[in-house]
Amino acid sequence: MLKFYFDLMSQPSRALYIFLKVTKIPVEFVKIDLKKAEHLTDEFKAVNRFQKVPCIVDGDFQLSESVAIFRYLIETRNGVAENWYPKELKTRALVDEFLEYQHNAVRLPCAMYFQTKFLIPIFSGKPVNEERVRSFKKQMENSLDALENIWLQSTEKEFLATKEISFADVLAACELEQPKMAGYNTFEGRPKLTKWYERVKEVTNPYYDEAHVIVNKVIQKNKSKL
Amino acid sequence: MLKFYFDLMSQPSRALYIFLKVTKIPVEFVKIDLKKAEHLTDEFKAVNRFQKVPCIVDGDFQLSESVAIFRYLIETRNGVAENWYPKELKTRALVDEFLEYQHNAVRLPCAMYFQTKFLIPIFSGKPVNEERVRSFKKQMENSLDALENIWLQSTEKEFLATKEISFADVLAACELEQPKMAGYNTFEGRPKLTKWYERVKEVTNPYYDEAHVIVNKVIQKNKSKL
């Protein structure tokens, strides 16, 4: 049985969790609690040498990196609807283009904004480094504007790379939740991105909301504070 | 005819240049001079909406992101030796694991070390921001240690993910050249990485050196200064 190791506070963990639930790939879900540092144990190091989530174990085969895991599952599991990773080579290449683009253009600034503005001050007890927050905010806003004005520019497709939803959309949506926990609404003032976000949730619910229960609690809690 | 747009000062441009030369995929090489801001023209924007290199145009199909381009070429071109992207699914997944890992773990700190230590001071005329250099240097050294002690740990394989060379190795080697231009030898004190680097050059030469003529000139020039 395939084992999936995850923590729902991790963006790519949530994306794979939603993908696995929607596609009903048979899998055992194994929670690794990052807050309890369960990823730093020797036991988990034997599962993933990089000691990060998400990762999988399939028989004796170990694999990390969400996008690599996604591609491996597409190739080795039957019955996954084609829209998640189209077989037509040019359409597939456009999904790949986003999957590679997002690492530094989307994930990095969104995660770093969340960390510098919210996570690091809480865990270190030190004041917010406002200069770093400003720098990541600027990068993040450039990135969000590129999603709104370049990726979602075409009227021929409803999703980032394709007409129907692909894994690119789920991965991106999960990354865009992270800054909301630090009080920044990534969708406000971006109408195309807002509509796209609603479509992603519509296609993937109830699993999208299920993956975001804790994240949404943090967002609600911080709305009043920030 | 496939068109490949590149500048040899860009790490992923060099990796694809070497891959295209070694595999002899029929292609027209189109130089985009970043120093002359040729990527910022309207003419080039019509080729790549993100105005970055590398990118390709195949008939009327446009694609950016080096890893996505690599995968598209593997799927659409015949006669590429299997070692570059193994067909066996688990071996392929391990190449994918590195291709996804490298964006933030290798490319980012190496590129940012080079930029903050060397490129930004030259172009802005401002003094080096030593705090940022130190931060990226630390990230970079963690990353280089992970290559040495985790990726190259197994004695069963001579390359990062596989027994024979794959695209993962070429992409990584090109990223590791960048900090050398800022006077940091990424291989010094890392014997496994040094031997791996020699193997990568051995398999890909004369094209590896051909792609690094200008980079090597900068490295030589700055050796005496730094």
Picking from B43, B61, B80, the residue at the C-terminal end of a domain is: B80
Longest dimension (CA), chain A: 51
The reply to whether residue B108 touches residue A107, judged by beta carbons under 8 angstroms, is no
Residues B76 and B187 in one domain: no
Chain A: give the shortest CA distance to residue B69, in Å: 8
Please indicate whether, in this complex, the C-beta atoms of A99 and B68 are within 8 angstroms of each other.
yes
Q: Are residues B100 and B197 in the same domain?
A: yes
Window 166-205 of A, Cβ < 8 Å to B:
none
pLDDT, mean of residues B112-117: 96
Of B5, B86, B91, residue with least CA distance to B43: B5
Specify the pLDDT at position A224. 65
Q: What is the pLDDT of residues A20-43, one digit of tens each?
A: 999 999 999 999 999 999 999 999
Rounded to two decimals, the ipTM of the complex is 0.96
Distance from CA of B100 to the nearest CA of A (A): 6
Q: B52 and B148 share a domain?
A: no
Question: Do B69 and B98 belong to one domain?
Answer: no
Q: Which of A47, A80, A113 is the last residue of a domain?
A: A80
Say whether both A50 and A151 belong to one domain. Answer: no
- In A, which residues are within 8 Å of B142 by CB distance? none
Last residue of a domain, one of B80, B107, B125: B80
Cβ of residue A66 closer than 8 Å to a chain B Cβ: yes
Write the CATH number for A181.
Answer: 1.20.1050.10
Cα A202 from chain centroid (whole Å): 17
Contact A63/B104, CB-based, under 8 Å? Answer: no
A31 and B CB contact within 8 Å:
no
What residues make up the domain containing B44? 3-80
**pLDDT tens digits, one per residue of A66-106:** 999 999 999 999 999 999 999 999 999 999 999 999 999 99
Nearest CA in chain A to B60: A90
Q: For residue A156, what pLDDT is reported? A: 85
As a whole number of angstroms, the distance between CA B179 and CA B218 comes to 11
Are A54 and A125 in the same domain? no
pLDDT of residue B225: 63
Are the CB atoms for A160 and A133 separated by under 8 Å? no
Average pLDDT score over residue span B5-32: 98
Strand order in the sheet with A61-64: A28-31, A3-6, A55-58, A61-64
A145 and A174 share one domain: yes
Are both A71 and A88 inside the same structural domain? no
Average pLDDT (B69-75) is: 98
Give the residue from chain A lying closest to B143, CA to CA: A50
Average pLDDT over chain B, rounded to an integer: 96
One domain for residues A60 and A95: no
Q: Report the number of distinct structural domains present in chain A.
A: 2
pLDDT tens digits for range B43-62:
999 999 999 999 999 999 99
pLDDT of residue A50: 96
Q: Which amino acid is at B130?
A: E
- Asked if B101's CB is within 8 angstroms of A93's CB, the reply is no
Do A59 and A108 belong to one domain?
no
The residue in chain A having the minimum alpha-carbon distance to the alpha carbon of residue B102 is: A103
Parallel/antiparallel/unpaired status of strands B61-64 and A55-58: unpaired
Q: Are residues A145 and A188 located together in one domain of the fold?
A: yes
Q: Which two tokens stand for residue A163?
A: 């007409």
CA-closest candidate to residue B159, choices B108, B210, B95? B95
Residue B41 sits in a domain whose CATH number is 3.40.30.10
Chain B contact present for A42, CB below 8 A: no
pLDDT digits (tens, 9 = 90+) for A162-201: 999 999 999 999 999 999 999 999 999 999 999 999 999 9
Q: What is the pLDDT of residue B226?
A: 55
How many C-alpha atoms does B132 have within 13 Å on its Cβ side? 17
Q: Which residues of A touch B143 (CB under 8 A)?
A: none
Asked if B34 reaches chain A (Cβ–Cβ under 8 Å), the answer is: no
pLDDT level of residue B156 (50, 70, 90 thresholds): confident
Q: What is the pLDDT of residue B224?
A: 65
Whether the CB of B219 is below 8 Å from some CB of chain A: the reply is no
Same-domain check for residues A18 and A112: no
Q: Which of residues 109-138 of B touch A (CB under 8 A)?
A: none
